[in-house]
Copies of this chain bind each other. A is one copy, B any other.
C-alpha cells in the first residue's frame, strides 16, 4: 500500500544553512508515524546561506509540490521562504524559528544568526570526538588500563549491546565509556575492582532473548551449527555468572531486553543522575 496509490505522491525538501542533520532527525520522527507511506523523494539541501542558492530550490519545490522543511537562522531567508510558500500555497515547516522567537522575546537576547553554530568546533565538540575515539579504543575490554580512565564501564555477556551503547553515550553524552565482555571461563581483570562503583553498570536480559539475538548473529556470520554460543543452557549459566559478578561488585543492572539503544540509554542516564 504505497502513498502513490493511496493519495497524492509526496516529495520533501529539507533546506538548511548547515548540514541539515537536525531537520532530518525531526522529519524522520514524523515520517515514522506513516510506515505505509512511500515518500517519492526526500532531498536535502545543506549549506544554503544566500538567496541566490535558495530561490532555485524553492522553484524546484514548487514544481514538485514538495513539503518544504527549513532550519535556517537568517531572518531574511526565513521571510523569503515564508512569503514564497504562502504565495504559492506550499506546505512549510520551520524547525528553528518558533523556539528562537520565544527565547528572544523572553530574554531580550539577539540570536547570533550564525549558520552551523551547533557544529562549532569548540571544547564540547572536541570532548565528544575524544569520547568516541576512547570508546572505539577501549571497546571489548581491549586494554584493561582503559577501565581506570573511563567515566563509565559497561559489563555484560555477549550480545547485550555493549559496543553500540558505549558509542552512543560517547557521541551524545561525551562520556568516556569502555566495556567488558563477561565470560565465565575468563578471570576479571584486576582493574575492574579498582573502578569506583558508581562508574560501573551491568547489562542483562532473559536467556531466551539473548539466545534469539545470538541465533541471528550465527546466521549473519555464517558460523557452523552446534556451537555453545547460542545454546540456551550455556547462555543461562553465562547470565547467572554475570549476575553473580554484579552482586559481588554491588553495581546497578540495566535490562536491555526489547529496548533500542536510545531507550536503554535513558535508563543508564537515570542511574548516572542519581550519583550526581
Q: Which residues in A have some Cβ–Cβ distance to B below 8 Å?
A: 3, 6-8, 10, 18-22, 25-37, 46-47, 67, 69, 71, 73, 91, 93, 95-96, 98-100, 102-103, 106-109, 111-114, 116-121, 125-126, 129-130, 132-133, 135-136, 139-140, 161, 163-164, 167-168, 171-172, 216, 220, 258, 260-263, 265-266
- Tell me, in angstroms, the Cα distance from A114 to B29 when the chains sit together: 11
- Tell me, in angstroms, the Cα distance from A111 to B108 when the chains sit together: 38
Partner of A129, one of B27, B117, B261: B261
Residue of B nearest to A162 (CB): B133
Contacts of A100 on B, CB cut-off 8 Å?
30, 33
Task: Determine if A3 and B109 form an interchain contact, defined as CB atoms under 8 angstroms apart.
Answer: yes
Task: Determine if A107 and B266 form an interchain contact, defined as CB atoms under 8 angstroms apart.
Answer: no
Residue of B nearest to A28 (CB): B118
Q: A34-B111, A119-B263 are contacts. A106–B22 as well, Cβ < 8 Å?
A: no
Contacts of A3 on B, CB cut-off 8 Å?
107, 109
Closest chain B CB from A123 CB (angstroms): 11
**Which of A25, A96, A112, A126 is packed against the most chain B CB atoms within 10 Å?**
A25
Task: Determine if A106 and B133 form an interchain contact, defined as CB atoms under 8 angstroms apart.
Answer: no
Contacts of A113 on B, CB cut-off 8 Å?
33
Residue of B nearest to A105 (CB): B91
Q: A99-B93, A102-B91 are contacts. A136–B108 as well, Cβ < 8 Å?
A: no
Contacts of A69 on B, CB cut-off 8 Å?
99
Task: Determine if A107 and B19 form an interchain contact, defined as CB atoms under 8 angstroms apart.
Answer: no
Q: A6-B108, A171-B171 are contacts. A129–B164 as well, Cβ < 8 Å?
A: yes
Task: Determine if A21 and B96 form an interchain contact, defined as CB atoms under 8 angstroms apart.
Answer: no
Task: Determine if B95 and A26 form an interchain contact, defined as CB atoms under 8 angstroms apart.
Answer: yes
Task: Determine if A130 and B67 form an interchain contact, defined as CB atoms under 8 angstroms apart.
Answer: no
Closest chain B CB from A71 CB (angstroms): 6
Can you report 17 A-B residue pairs in the complex whose CB atoms are below 8 A from each other? Answer: A8-B106, A21-B25, A30-B96, A30-B99, A31-B103, A32-B120, A33-B96, A33-B112, A34-B103, A34-B107, A34-B112, A37-B103, A126-B216, A132-B164, A132-B167, A168-B171, A171-B171
